Amino acid sequence: MKEIYRKRGYVVRWENGTLVRVSESGVAIEDGELFTCEPEPGDVPTLTNAQLTIPDLDVKIERLIVSHGIAEHEFDGRTWTEETHRVHLSIVNGRIRALVDLFDDIERVAHALKRADQQEREAPKHLVLAPNLSAALLPSLPNVEQMAGGIDGKGREIGEAYGENWYRPSYRVRPIRMPLNLRLRHKETAIDPDLPRAVALLAHPDGLTIRVLIEDGARVYPSTVHVGKIEAVSENVLWYPYAGGSFGAEMML
């Protein structure tokens, strides 16, 4: 049976100093094992009040992409609309690069990066990962859960049944089943505020190994953390655009 999906979208994007406005509409068809897609003329939605907030930082910016988009989706008689705001920032101090994917993290990460030693140090045995780091790790962690909320790539409500929803980031990509809205719960939720704190992502995780920037008192330094036993996870979560969506929370190792 043919499955037909349509998407019409408009995005305003600030990419390293260039303002780009993109409007497009297309159709994707799955017919057995064959996936096809192509542009299809249609009324593309517009943003009458596009808002792009460009951070003005006193650290070297290597890459800055800020976008505001709107998309209308149609699948199997259902239609839905979503509006997105995204940022991807990479900032540099010497040989250290920090990655930021949430507006609210920019100032804190930039402040830490400015004070960072260039010398890599061994990670402390016990530390706290900030929500931006735990969110990046969740797709690699066992025992994560799916949180309910939102609509998946085939127009279905996202429930708590793990892995029953579809991920479709673009009409040009064949949808795949995968868990969305990841979250890790732990019976211990109290976080020790006095532990050293990993505050910035220096590279995307390699499995359960993650390069981070650690704040330990007055010292800030790059380190590599191998995630082993998790001692506690806070109940306060923040959404990050990693994989099919990931809810980061303070995580104590």
Q: Reduce the DSSP state of residue 220 to 3 states and report it.
A: strand
Q: Is residue 54 near other proteins by the rule CB under 8 A?
A: yes
Which are the contacts of 250, defined by CB distance < 8 A and separation ≥ 6?
Answer: 128, 129, 130, 131, 134, 191, 233, 234, 236
Using the minimum distance from each CB to other proteins, give the nearer residue, 57 or 238: 57
Single residue of 4, 52, 161, 190 touching other proteins by CB under 8 A: 52
Instruction: Name which of 181 and 223 has its Cβ closer to other proteins.
Output: 223
Residue 83 main-chain phi, psi, to 5 deg: -120, 135
Go through the chain and tell me how many residues it has: 253
Q: Which span (45-53, 72-80, 119-127, 222-230) binds other proteins, by CB under 8 A? A: 45-53
Question: Using CA atoms, how far apart are residues 48 and 185, in angstroms rounded to an integer?
Answer: 40
How far apart are alpha carbons 15 and 67 in whole angstroms?
A: 8
Pair 211, 120: CB distance under 8 Å: no
Map the footprint of other proteins across residues 75-134, applying CB under 8 A: 92, 94-97, 106-107, 110
Nearer to other proteins, 110 or 144 (CB): 110
CA distance 29 to 106: 40
Which of 3, 4, 21, 206 is close enough to bind other proteins by CB under 8 A? 21
Q: Which of 3, 36, 80, 169 binds other proteins (CB under 8 A)?
A: 36
Choices 34-42, 121-129, 183-191, 233-241 (CB under 8 A): range interacting with other proteins: 34-42
Judged by beta carbon, residue 107 or residue 160, the one nearer other proteins is: 107
Is 172 an interacting residue with respect to other proteins (CB under 8 A)?
A: yes
* Site pattern 131..170 for other proteins (x: CB under 8 A): ----------------------------------------
Q: How far is the CB of 104 from other proteins (least distance, A)?
A: 11
Q: Is 228 exposed, middle or buried (0-12, 13-18, 19+ CB in 10 A)?
A: exposed
Counting contacts by CB under 8 A, is residue 51 touching other proteins? yes
191 binds other proteins (CB under 8 A): no
Which structure tokens are listed for 97?
């690069």
Closest CA to 146 of 131, 157, 155, 130: 157
Q: Is-contact 196 216, C-beta < 8 A?
A: yes
**CA nearest to 11, candidates 68, 52, 64:** 68
Contact residues for other proteins, defined by CB under 8 A? 12, 14-16, 18-26, 33-39, 48-57, 63, 66, 92, 94-97, 106-107, 110, 172, 174
